[in-house]
Amino acid sequence: MFTAQLLEAQEEQVHKVIMIDSANPEAFPQFKTTREHLEFVKATFDRTILAGGLQFDDTDSDDDDDDDDDDDDDDDDDDDDDDDDGPSSSTIARNYDVGDYTMSQTRRSSVWNSPSSSTLSSARSSTASIFDTNSPLSSPGPPLGGYPTEDSDCSSDCDELPVMKVILEQIKTHIHRGLDLISCVKPGDLFLPGSKSDFDAILVKCTTEPIDVARTYGGHAGAQLIETAMREKSMRWNPTQFRSFKSIPFSGDHDGAFRPQFVEELSSILRECIQDIE
């Protein structure tokens, strides 16, 4: 969406914006501390690997049940904790009509980890960006500085091979910078209230169920908000702010949309999206 704005600022004509499983960044709250930001960077990285974004040394697969892998332990514990601590975020997501933008407007949280469930229904636009880049608390420094540490969960993975280490570092950098980019987005940054764009918007929506948040973040309002938005048909985009808006289902998952098995389907969808553009 920002690319469209940049092009329009250069007096280029934008006919259509195509997004692949991209949620509206205006919907998310700010981080309270740098540590919270880094925790989400690490959690996102761990979930990307867990989702199958990378495959590690197969020689370790036979020992998976015996290894002290924090991600696997967290996933196993999720099933138990959901029953003890209340409904999981996937249960929450099923309790409303996905894609209903009007309902989603009342579920914006002003903070990530407030213990009150009412944060999911607050709509304080002044604090609705993921984190404020002008705040001293939101300057986490270089993405690889201090993360991961030698004691972190992925340190052994980073030592697999030089090439693998580079890939892992690039993924972490991408995640860190992605969150940093989203941080500056506040309600009204993409569209002024009451305004409407002159282009069409197409959301290629992954229909594969996202991975539930780890036990550590199961009761975290911000983590639940992310999961909720990622399951919505419109992913918090307001259809009325575009010339037209269309959500197209896609069988891939968010972290693996460009894997070989999805190339044919995704290519077909993209061809369909641009066939009416001269």
Average pLDDT over residues 250-259: 83
Q: What is the pLDDT of residue 256?
A: 77
pLDDT for 116 beyond 70: no
Local confidence band at 248 (pLDDT 50, 70, 90 cut-offs): very high
Checking if the pLDDT of 244 tops 70, the result is yes
pLDDT digits (tens, 9 = 90+) for 158-189: 455 678 788 888 888 887 777 777 766 778 88
Dihedral sign computed on CA atoms, order 169, 172, 178, 180: negative
Exposed/middle/buried for 127, CB within 10 Å: 0-12, 13-18, 19+?
Answer: middle
The set of residues, in sequence order, having a beta carbon less than 8 Å from that of 270 and lying 6+ positions away, is 18, 204
| Confidence band for 92, pLDDT divided at 50, 70 and 90 | very low
| Number of domains the chain is built from | 1
User: If you search the block for the tokens 């933008």, which residue do you land on?
Assistant: 101
The DSSP call for residue 272 is H
112: pLDDT confidence band, cut at 50, 70 and 90? very low
272 CB-near residues (< 8 Å, 6+ apart): none
Q: Which residue type sits at 160?
A: E
> Which is more confident, 107 or 55?
55
Domain with 242, as residue range(s), is: 2-274
Length of the chain in terms of residues written: 278
Which span out of 10-14, 64-68, 101-105, 129-133 was modeled with the highest average pLDDT?
A: 10-14
